[in-house]
């Protein structure tokens, strides 16, 4: 399924302030490549219902038409996340960032730069590389081919969609791989606590992505939770309740 037919407002930026008890804790939730805020919205609403302030940005080039993702520079993605953090900091004393897939790679990029401004990061099937495809190779391919077959909506649960693009923008892939290469180099500098969820049956990314992050990140407080009943877009799949509950526990453990 493409972005067509999405309920009004679902593919746009979403934000909601928390209550008096937990509203000073802010969480930014970042969707994946070719995806949309629809993949993160239920998680955000779960956290907001428990009093936390949340923001779900629509990353540049997403939620519109696939061609837009061929006209984005990678720096625009972390810049968007950092802008959301700045907005939360106006009323929040602690900030967490959660990311799915490429949103996980973007989260890591932001964590490497902001460091102690974040209280923790949560990653779901995060992306840090594509085996055998370098940014240079992706660049060459993108000069010849604009679009490929979609990789979105890898969801086990029937009747559920993240409203992703039905094409894979190759110039966007070049920008993505460039960001991930830079981010991987910075992994040892990241010290913030990390919680990582990994689907054992992921048709989009190999487990090497999770293994690289777990091995190379500099965080001493890091954990990995296996998801047994979800595909790649696990935030709206069968294991979403497990993700929501465990992320809440993680956040609560780090709240002051």
Candidates 163, 160, 151; CA nearest to 237 is 160
Query: Which CATH architecture fits 14-254?
Result: 3-Layer(aba) Sandwich (3.40)
Q: CB count, 10 Å around CB of 21?
A: 10
| Ordered per-residue pLDDT tens for the chain, 256 residues | 578 888 989 999 999 999 999 999 999 999 999 999 999 999 999 999 999 999 999 999 999 999 999 999 999 999 999 999 999 999 999 999 999 999 999 999 999 999 889 999 999 999 999 887 788 888 888 888 888 888 788 999 999 999 999 998 999 999 999 999 999 999 999 999 999 999 999 999 999 999 999 999 999 999 999 999 999 999 999 999 999 999 999 999 999 7
Contacts 24+ apart (CB under 8 A), 88-93: 88/26, 88/28, 88/53, 88/55, 89/26, 89/117, 91/17, 91/23, 91/24, 91/26, 91/53, 92/23, 92/24, 92/25, 92/26, 92/53, 93/24, 93/25, 93/256
Longest Cα pair distance anywhere in the chain, in angstroms? Answer: 54
pLDDT at position 5:
83
The enclosing H or E element of 25 equals strand 25-30
pLDDT of residue 179: 97
pLDDT at residue number 87: 97
The residues annotated with a catalytic role in the active site are: 101, 202, 232
Per-residue b/e over 99-111, b at no fewer than 16 CB within 10 Å? bbbbbbbbbbbbb
Helix, strand or coil for residue 31? Answer: coil
- Structure confidence at residue 70 (pLDDT): 94
SS3 state at 155: coil
Domain boundaries, the chain: 14-254
């Amino acid at each position: 399924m493409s972005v067509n037919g999405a309920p009004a407002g679902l593919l746009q930026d979403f934000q909601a302030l928390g209550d008096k008890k937990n509203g000073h804790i802010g969480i930014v939730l970042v969707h994946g490549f070719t995806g949309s805020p629809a993949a993160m919205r239920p998680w955000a609403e779960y956290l907001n219902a428990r009093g936390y302030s949340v923001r779900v940005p629509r990353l540049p080039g997403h939620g519109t038409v696939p061609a837009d993702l061929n006209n984005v520079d990678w720096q625009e993605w972390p810049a968007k996340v950092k802008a959301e953090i700045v907005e939360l900091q106006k009323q929040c004393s602690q900030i967490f960032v959660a990311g799915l897939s490429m949103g996980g790679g973007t989260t890591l990029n932001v964590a490497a730069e902001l460091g102690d401004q974040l209280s923790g990061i949560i990653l779901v099937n995060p992306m840090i590389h594509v085996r055998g495809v370098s940014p240079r190779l992706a660049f060459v391919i993108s000069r010849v081919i604009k679009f490929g077959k979609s990789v979105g909506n890898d969801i086990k649960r029937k009747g559920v969609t993240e409203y992703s693009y039905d094409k894979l923008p190759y110039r966007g892939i070049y920008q993505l791989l460039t960001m991930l290469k830079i981010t991987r180099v910075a992994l040892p500098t990241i010290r913030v606590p990390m919680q990582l969820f990994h689907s054992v049956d992921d048709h989009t990314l190999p487990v090497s992505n999770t293994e690289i992050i777990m091995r190379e990140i500099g965080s001493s407080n890091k954990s990995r939770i296996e998801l047994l009943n979800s595909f790649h877009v696990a935030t709206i799949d069968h294991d979403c309740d497990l993700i929501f509950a465990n992320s809440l526990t993680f956040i609560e453990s780090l709240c002051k």
